[in-house]
Amino acid sequence: MKERITITLDKDIISAVDRKIDGRKIKNRSHAIELLLARVLGENYPKKVIFLLGGKGTRFRPITYELPKALLPMQGRTVPEHLMDLFKRFNIKDLIFSVGYKSEKIKSYFGDGSNFGVKITYVEEKKPLGSAGALKLASPHLNGTFIVTNGDELKDIDIEDMFYFHKENNAMITVALTTVDNPSVYGVAKLQGNKILEFVEKPDPDNAPSKLIHAGLSIWEPEALKLIPAGFSMYEKDVFPKVASQGKLYGYNFSGQWFDTGTPERYEIALKKWKGFK
């Protein structure tokens, strides 16, 4: 809920504010002042991120018989370490690692996060719970707006801009969307404006509703956790459709780097092309 207020500012400050307006990320004077205040007050980003790291990495066998996928090297570091760099850019350092397969090795490597400049809390699946089930397990730690990220994609997203987009639309869940040339191997977003109506799974290229796919990062309000059923569940199938039916599932289209490392072939491409963060 927004409220209108009247403020009096020095002309030089107003000029400095106006110079921030670019018509895209910062649309007008009011928007600029709101963003600047949010940054000063630390209200320009979610406070917690949950990393989904419980998968068995079956497509990387036999390597993952010994090593969890989260610890595979990517340009001398792991993919979660690269993702930490993304979140630390926006001062997000409170991380939750949802682990399952070979969790002891992940815990041993990352510890409490202090060696990486973050704080890590672990939630452990005793049996596979799926992407949504893992969130339900972590729900006692998720009492405010939070981010969900897959642990096997490299992405460069303006979290502050996405968060503002999420709040501006009063979304329950906002999904980061990236454009791919061949959407037929992914879940593809069908949109009405910025609202996601549904994800069409692995469509024929000629009939795909768009070339926009889920980039493996989303912003959630805690009320969405109430929609997760008990037991094994996937948020793509068991939560997103419920939120879409309420008109509260939004797509944030970004153009930054994005690499899926979920198969050996895509992993090799990421190894060669990922440029890190400037």
How confident is the model over 184-223, as pLDDT tens digits? 778 888 888 899 998 888 787 777 788 888 999 999 999 9
Kindly tell me if the per-residue pLDDT of 38 is higher than 70: no
41: number of Cβ within 10 Å: 8
What is the pTM assigned to this prediction?
0.85
Query: CA angle, 207 as apex, 218 and 241 as ends, to 5°?
Result: 35
178 touches 161 (CB < 8 A): no
CATH 1.10.287.3510 fits 45-273, yes or no: no
Which phi and psi (to 5°) does residue 150 adopt?
A: -65, 155
* Cα–Cα distance, 152 to 178 (Å, whole number): 15
Distance in angstroms (rounded) separating the CA atoms of residues 250 and 46: 17
Tens digits of residue pLDDT in 48-77:
999 999 888 788 888 888 888 889 888 889
Which of the four pLDDT bands, split at 50, 70 and 90, describes residue 39?
Answer: low
Of the listed ranges 93-102, 126-135, 203-212, the one predicted with least confidence? 203-212
DSSP state of 47: S
Residue 32: per-residue pLDDT: 65
Closest CA to 216 of 169, 168, 170, 266: 266
Q: Given the residues 126, 136, 190, 202, select the one marked as catalytic.
A: 202
Please state, in angstroms and rounded to a whole number, the distance separating the CA atoms of residues 187 and 236. Answer: 9
Tell me phi and psi for residue 212, to 5 degrees. Answer: -100, 130
Average pLDDT over residues 111-123: 94
Residue 180 is encoded by which pair of tokens? 């791919």
Eight-state DSSP code of residue 15: H
Of 174, 94, 96, residue with least CA distance to 140: 96
Residue (of 20, 65, 53, 59) closest to 38 by Cα position: 20
Average of per-residue pLDDT across 150-172: 91
Average pLDDT over residues 132-154: 92
Asked about 202 being catalytic, the answer comes back as yes
Mean pLDDT to the nearest integer, 254-263: 87
Q: What is the pLDDT of residue 1?
A: 58
Residue 37 has pLDDT above 80, yes or no: no
- When the pLDDT of each residue in the chain is averaged and rounded to a whole number, the result is 86
Which band of pLDDT confidence, cut at 50, 70 and 90, is reported for residue 93?
very high
Q: Using N-to-C axis directions, what is the helix angle for 11-18 and 29-41, rounded to 10°?
A: 100
